Amino acid sequence: MRAMVIPEFGPPSLFEERDIEKPKAGPGEILIKIIASATNPVDAKIRSGAIPAVEPPAVLGSDVSGTVEEVGPGVSDFTAGEEVYYTTELFGEGANGAHAEYVAAPANIVAKKPNSLSHEEAAAVPLAGGTAYEAIVRRLKVLPGEVVVVHAGAGGVGSFAVQIAKASGAFVIATAGPDNQSALRELGADVAVDYQSEDVSEVALSHTNGEGVDAVFDTVGGDIIAPSTEYTRPFGRAATIVGAQGDLTQMYLKNQTLYGTFLTRERRRLDEITRLIEQGKVKPLIGETLDLAEVAKAHERLDSGHGRGKMVLRNTR
């Protein structure tokens, strides 16, 4: 089968198209014909060798949308031809593998694709949407009427977080660069903050009468969480997907809670996101759709650290 392979760790230019062995559906698994996949920042870190998730030569990619090709022994909840989507495991046997024609997956982490989305749109959802859902709904437990700050609200995870927080009934303050201010408003942010020219602390405090916001979601990393303690209320919450740096003393003094968020793979979360999608409350923000053979171009954008939404790869053969 066709696959885009990295022969070793290094720059995006290493990707090469190869003909590799087609997987089979083992016990408890389904074989999926991949119609579209997507890229994520973690893919670039794996490709560069920063995260030791695979051993080259390897097929990368964590997001899949496609159709069931074959059902393995013991699987009764899928049939051939059904449209499905999911995010692959990050580590261990069967990790990654989305940038190919087929992938074998444990059936219990795969969900039926939202009917309202194309495969290209659906491929943009599982990892980024699942991570945002995990943070906003399960960790931060955002409630109606609360004020939430989402950092990098136009990014892959952030764009879902803005919409999921709005669907939870929150007042959302989202940050992005000057080129993505309109995208934040289209996603439903109540206040769009240009982090290059505005002070998010001043904006947050002005919209809460100086009391501070209820919750902060960090998708950027670096020195983001520590300053946010100053404009988060006592007993407020924060969640990060990339770790926290800096002086967190105020977090202790104000009895705030910090959650680390790592996405576990499961069908239930995808089913819950699907309901929001079918209700028209959440939609993927896609930056660009490319052919699978152009995966290096998508990784170049990941390496740049800039962009809007998700980069999707279409398997055109």
CATH match for 2-125+284-314 among 1.20.58.100, 2.70.98.90, 3.90.180.10, 3.60.21.10: 3.90.180.10
Residues of each domain in the chain carrying CATH 3.90.180.10 = 2-125+284-314, 129-260
Before 234, cis peptide (omega within 30)?
A: no
Instruction: State the pLDDT at residue 88.
Output: 95
- Reply yes or no on whether the pLDDT at 1 is more than 80: yes
DSSP, collapsed to helix, strand or coil, labels residue 144 as: coil
Return the pLDDT at 317: 60
Q: How far apart, in whole angstroms, are the C-alpha atoms of residue 76 and residue 67?
A: 16
What is the number of other CB atoms lying within 10 angstroms of the CB of residue 284? Answer: 24
- Lowest mean pLDDT across 167-171, 250-254, 307-311: 307-311
Fold (topology level) of 129-260: Quinone Oxidoreductase; Chain A, domain 1 (3.90.180)
Total count of residues recorded for the chain? 317
State the virtual CA torsion across 7, 11, 13, 14 in degrees, nearest 10: 0
Q: What is the band of 304 on the pLDDT scale with cuts at 50, 70, 90?
A: confident
269-292 average pLDDT score: 96
Contact 256, 212 (CB under 8 A): no
Comparing C-alpha atoms, which of 147, 152, 153, 200 is closest to residue 170?
147
Rounded to two decimals, the pTM is 0.95
pLDDT tens-digit series, residues 83-100:
999 999 988 777 889 999
What integer best gives the mean pLDDT of the chain?
95
Q: Is 314 helix (H, G, I), strand (E, B) or coil?
A: strand
